[in-house]
Structure 1
Amino acid sequence: MTAAANLDTVLGKAVTILRAFRAEDQVLTLADLVRRTGLHKATVHRLAGELVANRLLDRVEGGYRLSGGLFELGMRASLERSLLEVAMPFLQDLYERTHETVHLGVREGHDVVYIAKIGGHRQAKSPSRTGGRNPLHCTAIGKALLAHASPEIQQEVLASPMTRRTAHTVVAPGLLRRQLTRIVETGVAFEHEESALGLTCVAAPVLGQGEEPLAAISVTGPTGRFRPEGQVGAVRAAAAGLGSTLARRERLR
């Protein structure tokens, strides 16, 4: 769940223009930006020019595209960068053990945001991408995070309309609540074709010193060859190892 920008401020309008770009977009025309933002054409043209001058947009043939300056800023985000630096060895080890797609994600609102994704040449096609997001309720990594979130956050998600991504998506609050209880008991969460058909997944939470969920790690593969139950130990070990390392670093500060 992403908060809307304030269209009464110049900053809010500029952010709205940047957020008009979707994951599948390469180039958007001025008309595209006007239509998606609802801003006046002259305003979009002026602010797009300022974003180009500040390397947040590039002016290219056919319109505008997001610039490398945004990537540089994103890589300076302290929490995600430090988490990723510590997590990468655990993610790489997990990939070497499974040779399936490995994710690291954190909770933002009612969504999981993917901080890292490692997959080899045979990785299954999935809707996830680094920097992308999915609803908590329909992914293993999201359910692992939700199961250890505060009762208030859980109630917000359970009381909100839950998008049905496939016929297998769990949208009944009572059933999802029972799954969350089971996840706390077992330490792992499963997804069986709930975010996309043909995919199955197992995830484990990365818990802090106070048992708060810092992140979660998952392994995803195609239903035809991947058996998530067989990777429970590996995923649990990776999440526990990362949690212990993060706790040790925190104690040494």
Structure 2
Amino acid sequence: MENRPVYGINSVDHALRLATILQQEGPLRVSEAAERLGVARSTAHRLLTMLVYRDFAARDAQRRYVAGPVLHTPAVPEPVAELRQVALPHLHDLTERTAETSHLGVLVADRVRFVASVECDQVLRVGDREGRVLPAHLASLGRAALATLEPDAVRARYGEPAPADVDLDQLLRDLGRVRRQGYALNQQLTETGLTAIGCAVDTGSGALRVGLSLAMPTARYRRDRVGEWTRSITATAAAISRDLHLNAGLAG
């Protein structure tokens, strides 16, 4: 498992986090970047200036920092920043209750992009995956999000013919099982030594398919605790969904 290195360099980590935020969530002002990283405005300004120099960031007409040419990828749905803000307190609560790391991800075509993580404090743990992109059919939260789609919509995401490493008929059967049991399980499909349990989050938007997962070292996974973990995850997903709908109602 790729957790934070013991020799991690804070300035590099901060710069990479800023680049990820610009790519996933959109424009930032210096003050917003400083608050997000927990650093001084002068430090945030220097980091952003270096990202501009290397084409990871640029300035827009409002003098905000935006993703630069190096980060040009298909746009992430606009509500992701709000989704992250609403979900984070619930992820913290889930991690505190279970003592395992929690993740939130958004389905983008046939992949899932992790938009938020809350790392547990156990010595052996799954680390922060924010910004990482994985094949949706392998990650538990990706499969949970795919399971909210109709079969034809899943086929459309993978194309005809599907990639050689995807058995589409088998995947559709697996997604049917995910829908019936209410959760998806990833047993070392994305990383050796990692097990994750995922479920879908109802965002109220057909365009934004979201999954939530609890990830742990496989050595700590116990089959007799799946029911307990699943109840915690689905309760958290319901709380996030409730707050998203409440926010939408207040905005309306």
For normalisation by structure 1, the TM-score amounts to: 0.64
Pick closer, same or farther for the CA change 1:107–1:223 going to 2, 3 Å. Answer: same
Residue 161 of structure 1 deviates from its aligned partner by 1.3
Residue 69 of structure 1 deviates from its aligned partner by 7.4
Residue 184 of structure 1 deviates from its aligned partner by 1.3
Match of 1:238?
Answer: 236
Whether 1:188 and 2:183 are equivalent positions in the alignment is: yes
Q: Is contact 1:101-1:123 (8 Å) kept?
A: no
Residue 242 of structure 1 deviates from its aligned partner by 0.8
Residue 109 of structure 1 deviates from its aligned partner by 1.1
Match of 1:204?
Answer: 199
Larger Rg: 1
State the AA in 2 paired with 1:108. V
Match of 2:153?
Answer: 153
Match of 2:116?
Answer: 116
CA distance in 2, matches of 1:250, 1:162: 41
Give SS of 1:224's match.
Answer: helix
How many percent of aligned residue pairs carry the same amino acid? 26
CA distance in 2, matches of 1:197, 1:173: 23
Q: Is contact 2:103-2:129 (8 Å) kept?
A: no
Match of 2:4?
Answer: none
Considering only aligned residues, what root-mean-square deviation do their CA atoms show, in Å? 3.3
Match of 1:216?
Answer: 211
For normalisation by structure 2, the TM-score amounts to: 0.64
Match of 1:87?
Answer: 87
Pick closer, same or farther for the CA change 1:177–1:208 going to 2, 3 Å. Answer: same
Segment drifting more, 192-201 vs 151-160: 151-160
CA distance in 2, matches of 1:56, 1:103: 29
Give SS of 1:96's match.
Answer: helix
Where do 5+ consecutive residues of structure 1 fail to align?
A: 1-22, 27-53, 164-170
Q: Deviations over 1:157-210 (max 9, x none)?
A: 3742154xxxxxxx4333221110011122211111111111111011111347
Match of 1:138?
Answer: 138
Pick closer, same or farther for the CA change 1:65–1:129 going to 2, 3 Å. Answer: farther
Q: Is contact 2:194-2:216 (8 Å) kept?
A: yes
CA distance in 2, matches of 1:154, 1:185: 17
Q: Is contact 1:100-1:123 (8 Å) kept?
A: no
* Higher RCO (CA 8 Å, separation ≥ 6 residues): 2
Pick closer, same or farther for the CA change 1:249–1:105 going to 2, 3 Å. Answer: same
Q: Is contact 1:149-1:212 (8 Å) kept?
A: no
